[in-house]
Amino acid sequence: MSDKLNQAIPLFAGVIVLLAFIILMVVFRSILIPLKAVLGFVLSLLATLGFTTLIIQDGVFANLIGIDTTGPILAFLPVITIGLLFGLAMDYEVFLMSRIHEAYTSTQDNDRSIRTGIKESGPVVVAAALIMFSVFIGFVFQNDVMIKSMGIALAFGVLFDAFVVRMTIIPALTKLFGRASWYMPKWLKRILPHVDIEGHALTKSLKDKK
C-alpha cells in the first residue's frame, strides 16, 4: 500500500498543480501570476515535508511535543498534506491576487495595486491562516503520533505559505516583474474564456450605460 501511495503522489500533485495553473491563468489573464502561485505552493510543500521529517523522523525537538520514539513519515501524510495545503494556498492566493488584479485593472499601476491588495486583503489572509493554524496546532497535543504528525505538517504549512509565500514572496515577485506579471499572449487571450471575478467589466458596462 505504501509503495502504491508513493507512486501516486507525483501524479496527484502534478494534476492538481496543472489544473490550478489553468484556472488561475483564466481568472487573472496572466502567465506569470499562476506560475508564481503554483511554484509558491511547491515551495511550501517542500518546506512542510522537510520540517515534518526533521521532527518526526530525525527527532529534532521531538521531545518538546511528546514524541519519545522517532520513525519514518507515514505514507498517507504527504497525500493529506498536498490536498489540504494546496486548497488553503490557492485560497490565500485568490484572496490576495484578486484584489491586486482588480486594482491593477482600474489603475494600470502595478506598485500601487500591490500596496492596495496587501492593505485590503492582507488582513483577511492573515486572519484565515491564524484560524487554520489554531485548529491544526491542537492536533499536536494529542497522544497519537499519527495525529501529531498531521498537526505539525499542516500547522507549519499554513503559516509558511501564508506569511512567507503569499504575503512576502508573491508580492515581491509581482513588483519585481512589474507589468510583465500581467502579460498574456494575444492568441491565448482569444482562446481562453473571460472570467470577471471582480465584476470590473460589469461595473464598467453599467457606468457606460449611465
- What the block records as the C-alpha cell of 151 is 498537526
DSSP state of 51: H
Chain centre distance of CA 66: 30
**What is the pLDDT, as a whole number, of residue 76?**
80
**What is the pLDDT, as a whole number, of residue 208?**
56
pLDDT: which is higher, 59 or 17: 17
- pLDDT tens digits for range 107-147: 889 999 999 999 999 999 999 999 999 999 999 888 887 88
**What is the pLDDT, as a whole number, of residue 11?**
83
Superfamily (CATH) of domain 2-200: Multidrug efflux transporter AcrB transmembrane domain (1.20.1640.10)
- pLDDT tens digits for range 31-68: 999 999 999 999 999 999 999 888 888 877 777 777 77
Helix (H, G, I), strand (E, B) or coil at 193: coil
- What the block records as the C-alpha cell of 158 is 499554513
Show me where the domains of the chain are located.
2-200
Is residue 113 within 8 Å of residue 33, measured between CB atoms?
A: no
Question: In which band, very low, low, confident or very high, does the pLDDT at 205 lie, cut at 50, 70 and 90?
Answer: low
Surface-to-core class of residue 85, CB atoms within 10 Å of its CB (0-12 exposed, 13-18 middle, 19+ buried):
buried
In the predicted structure, residue 29 carries a pLDDT above the cut 60 = yes
**What is the pLDDT, as a whole number, of residue 187?**
86
Chain centre distance of CA 76: 21
